[in-house]
Amino acid sequence: MESSFVYILYSRRLDRYYTGVTTLSVVEQIENHIEKKYGKLNFTQKADDWELYHSIKCEGFAQARRIEMHIKKMKSKIYLQNLKSFPEMVDKLLAKYRNN
């Protein structure tokens, strides 16, 4: 099964987070954002100091996408910070959105 990741980037300059999903390695994905490979309409084009804040390895793309959408719906920096601080939150998301 192909690995997929939910990743959360942080820009100090913007003081903003960006959440995405990828089947690439997380390092490769960040490089693509920094090198502005995703076009002018992508939010990450607004800064060039994106760094990996947190990542979640998922069972597959479908699970990763559902977790990404869950995180984005929360619309909360505190929620993102808690995901990093409390690994049990990630475990619950992985269980809730487990591929069947």
pTM of the model: 0.87
**Residue 89 and residue 30 in contact, taking contact as beta carbons nearer than 8 Å:** no
Sign of CA dihedral 84, 40, 75, 22: negative
- Number of structural domains the chain divides into: 1
Q: Which amino acid is at 64?
A: A
What is the pLDDT tens value at each position of the chain, 100 positions in all? 578 999 999 999 999 999 999 998 888 888 877 777 776 667 888 888 889 999 999 999 999 999 999 999 999 999 999 999 999 999 999 999 997 6
The CATH number of whichever domain residue 13 belongs to comes to: 3.40.1440
Q: Give the integer Cα–Cα distance in Å for 12 and 2.
A: 32
53-91 per-residue burial string, b: 16 or more CB within 10 A, e: under 16: bbbbebeebebbebbbeebeeeeeeeebeebeeeeeebe
Domain span at 71? 4-96
